[in-house]
């Protein structure tokens, strides 16, 4: 931690924000340095790589710390991205405001000029927005693309693309078997693919050795060079199916036999990989998550062709974290993969070759649970709120009656949104009924759509029409075809024909890294989700921040008379306008310093500059060239196309994908800016109100005014 001398104005809140934000400098950029957070009470450590995890691990008891936590949490809840940018700019702009205060600039001038400057920058950078369709077309037409490959006789099972055994081909350290053996005991129809149909691995082109996905029955050996690049003309692309109106629809009975691989008709490989390319451009170096997300994109796009549903639906994606397996075992599996106890896993052997009936519960499966809005009787006095179920006959009767209901309706599988009574769970296991708790609402909805099961709040509401059928339950198998036993918890896979649900199975052998891997995956998923919602993306790699710096520089150098005229028109107060005009240049330069520090730290973290001084020199060089060009936006766009902006691309893809374009979310980035400045100005004005009270002089003259704070 850094110590800072508290100045005479005693703006402690701003100094606290600045000090805390210093801890997040290494989390900025694609090559961020993660941090270990150690719990002193349990002596356990966790690897974190995002601002939200860092804030959750810190004990922030001050008012400024609480406001910082709420700001970070609000950004995380809405966007799941832009957190490191928000965290860093809070600290950078806090320092900038403190420097303005040391120059005796009025608080009102700081607030008005910084707010005006940020709004002006947000409007100026709109010219750097690129429509998704144009980005997709450019990425597909460029030579930078995953390798694609052909297969003349492709015969794969209905969920084989994402089947763990097929994912064996997607990991470079595991050799591919001669033939794919479906895990499921069900047999599926096999379709032949003609030579014009493509079977594409979204993971190809990332590893040093690109292996061919071999179809069932194909005994030939084919080797595709990792340096091979497939190019094709995109002149025929007049409309992309990936950017049609979002909508919901269900599989028809004919579409229930959906083939989970890229086949069915001849398609342009450029068009196939539209969202896959975009995901890679938004990944910012997150290579492992890109592979999983591209697999999801392929699956969902193929399903969208058959059903007309959304080309990318985030509600159909869930994660399952498996500790104890190498990271190369991570894959995407159709259906719902979750962890259950070994006792629950033992029930699954009774489900073999047996039709499974499923029940969905939208609440807790406990005797005390009442739905939201339930009004208890006012004339009843509660003697004991939570009695032990085994101490009284009433509890035993409830257990027996609930179990009888499940047995009478021949329910084999119960998915519960909330908690499950432990004693009822034990009785269900004894009667070969699998009960799984804490299932998300999206999972319940997905199973309800394809099984015709209707969620109920209480078991007493159950009737025959509420129970679904057609479900299959099996032990989840790794890419080598073996069922995994991870000790106390066992992964199981629940699927049904036609379900759109996909589970990203995330694996690692390092316990402290599990949370980081899951956070990185969801960050990339939400980046793609927000990009499709915005229908535009920003140029990445520092282009937007560089244009903000150029624009601020232009505003700061605005002639004094023109600035004064504009200020009078805006504030309708000559005195306030004169104050704002006098300090406008200094305050705007302070605002710009935040973005300049941002670019400098990112360049240092990615080893594009040996020091912040060298990074600042590079930024100043680009600013000068942009000013000399006459049109800063045109210069930045030109440098971005060349890949030379701030010394080009970075990250793990840099050595394999020369000239790879990087893009950013529009709304998430601008909202991070606004939230950062809003918090800084709020704390500034709050501190100003505190130190200008009736005891201001007594406070400033006390010996505490020169203390140190962390």
Q: Look at residue 233 in the predicted model and tell me its pLDDT.
A: 38
**Whole-angstrom distance, CA of residue 73 vs CA of residue 487:** 34
pLDDT of 635 > 90? The answer is: yes
How does the average pLDDT of the chain come out, rounded? 76
* Token duo for residue 66: 């609480």
Q: Pick the most confident of 295-304, 315-324, 486-495, 643-652.
A: 315-324
Handedness of CA 460, 466, 470, 474 (dihedral sign): negative
Q: Check whether 525 has a pLDDT greater than 80.
A: yes
- For 6, left (φ over 0), alpha (ψ -120 to 50), or beta? beta
pLDDT attached to residue 703: 53
Give the residue-averaged pLDDT of 276-281: 89
Tokens of 194: 């003609």
- Tens of pLDDT, residues 428-445: 999 999 999 999 999 999
- Pairing outcome for strands 317-323 and 663-665: unpaired
Task: State the average pLDDT over residues 130-138.
Answer: 88
d(CA 563, CA 584): 8
Query: Reduced to 3 states, what is the DSSP secondary structure of residue 217?
Result: coil
CA dihedral 400, 404, 406, 409 (to 10 degrees): -170
pLDDT at 674 over 90: yes
Residue 568 has pLDDT above 60, yes or no: no
pLDDT for the residue numbered 647: 57
- pTM of the complete model beyond 0.75: yes
User: What is the average pLDDT across 37-53?
Assistant: 86
- DSSP output for 543-594: HHHHHHHHHHHHHHTS-HHHHHHHHHHHHS-HHHHHHHHHHHHHHHHHHHHH
Quote the crossing angle between the two packed helices 83-102 and 107-124, to the nearest 10°: 140
- Range of weakest confidence among 209-223, 291-305, 450-464: 209-223
């Amino acid at each position: 931690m850094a110590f800072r001398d508290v100045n005479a104005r005693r703006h402690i809140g701003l100094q606290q924000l600045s000090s805390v934000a210093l801890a997040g400098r290494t989390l900025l950029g694609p090559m961020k340095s993660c941090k270990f957070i150690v719990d002193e009470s349990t002596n356990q450590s966790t690897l974190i790589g995002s601002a939200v995890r860092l804030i959750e691990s810190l004990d922030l008891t001050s008012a400024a710390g609480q406001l910082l936590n709420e700001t970070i949490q609000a950004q995380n809840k809405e966007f799941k991205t832009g957190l490191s940018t928000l965290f860093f700019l809070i600290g950078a702009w806090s320092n900038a405001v403190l420097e303005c205060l040391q120059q005796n600039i009025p608080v009102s001038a700081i607030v008005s000029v910084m707010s005006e400057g940020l709004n002006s920058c947000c409007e100026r950078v709109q010219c750097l927005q690129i429509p998704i369709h144009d980005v997709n077309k450019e990425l597909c037409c460029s030579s930078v693309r995953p390798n694609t490959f052909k297969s003349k006789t492709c015969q794969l099972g209905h969920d084989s693309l994402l089947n763990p055994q097929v994912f064996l081909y997607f990991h470079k350290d595991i050799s591919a078997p001669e033939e794919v053996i479906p895990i499921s005991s069900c047999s599926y129809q096999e379709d032949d693919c003609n030579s014009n149909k493509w079977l594409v691995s979204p993971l190809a082109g990332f590893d040093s050795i690109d292996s061919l996905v071999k179809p069932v029955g194909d005994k030939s050996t084919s080797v595709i060079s990792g340096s091979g690049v497939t190019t094709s003309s995109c002149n025929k692309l007049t409309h992309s199916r990936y950017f049609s109106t979002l909508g919901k629809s269900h599989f028809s009975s004919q579409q229930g036999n959906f083939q989970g691989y890229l086949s069915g008709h001849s398609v342009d490989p450029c068009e196939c990989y539209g969202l896959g390319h975009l995901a890679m451009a938004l990944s910012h170096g997150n290579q492992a998550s890109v592979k999983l997300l591209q697999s999801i994109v392929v699956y969902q796009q193929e399903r969208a062709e058959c059903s007309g549903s959304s080309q990318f639906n985030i509600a159909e994606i869930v994660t399952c974290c498996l500790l104890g397996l190498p990271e190369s075992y991570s894959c995407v599996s159709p259906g719902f993969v979750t962890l259950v106890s070994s006792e629950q896993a033992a029930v699954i052997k009774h489900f073999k070759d047996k039709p499974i009936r499923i029940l969905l519960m939208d609440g807790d499966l406990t005797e005390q649970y009442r739905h939201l809005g339930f009004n208890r009787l006012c004339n009843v006095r509660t003697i004991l709120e939570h009695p032990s179920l085994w101490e009284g006959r009433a509890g035993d009767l409830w257990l027996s009656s609930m179990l009888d209901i499940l047995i009478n309706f021949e329910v084999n599988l119960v998915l519960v949104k909330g908690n499950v009574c432990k004693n009822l769970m034990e009785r269900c296991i004894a009667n070969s009924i699998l009960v799984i708790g804490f299932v998300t609402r999206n999972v319940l909805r997905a199973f309800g759509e394809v099984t015709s099961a209707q969620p109920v709040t209480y078991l007493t509401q159950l009737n025959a029409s509420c129970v679904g059928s057609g479900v299959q339950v099996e032990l989840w198998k790794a890419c080598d075809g073996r069922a995994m036993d991870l000790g106390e918890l066992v992964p199981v896979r629940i699927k049904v024909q036609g379900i759109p649900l996909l589970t990203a199975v995330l694996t690692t052998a390092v316990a402290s890294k599990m949370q980081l891997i899951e956070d990185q995956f969801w960050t990339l998923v939400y980046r793609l989700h927000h990009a499709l919602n915005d229908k535009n993306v920003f140029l990445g790699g520092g282009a937007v921040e560089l244009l903000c710096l150029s624009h601020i520089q232009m505003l700061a150098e605005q002639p004094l008379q023109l600035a004064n005229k504009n200020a009078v028109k805006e504030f309708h107060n000559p005195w306030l306008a004169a104050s704002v005009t006098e300090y406008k240049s200094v305050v705007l330069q302070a605002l710009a310093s935040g973005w300049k520090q941002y670019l400098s730290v990112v360049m240092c973290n990615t080893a594009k500059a040996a020091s912040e001084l060298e990074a600042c020199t590079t930024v100043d060089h680009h600013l000068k060239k942009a000013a000399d060009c006459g049109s800063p936006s045109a210069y930045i766009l030109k440098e971005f196309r060349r890949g030379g902006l701030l010394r080009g691309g970075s990250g793990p893809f840099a050595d394999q994908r020369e000239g790879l374009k990087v893009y950013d979310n529009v709304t998430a980035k601008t909202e991070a800016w606004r939230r950062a400045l809003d918090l800084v100005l709020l704390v500034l004005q709050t501190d100003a109100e505190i130190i200008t009270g009736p005891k201001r002089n007594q406070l400033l003259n006390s010996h505490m005014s020169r203390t140190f704070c962390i």
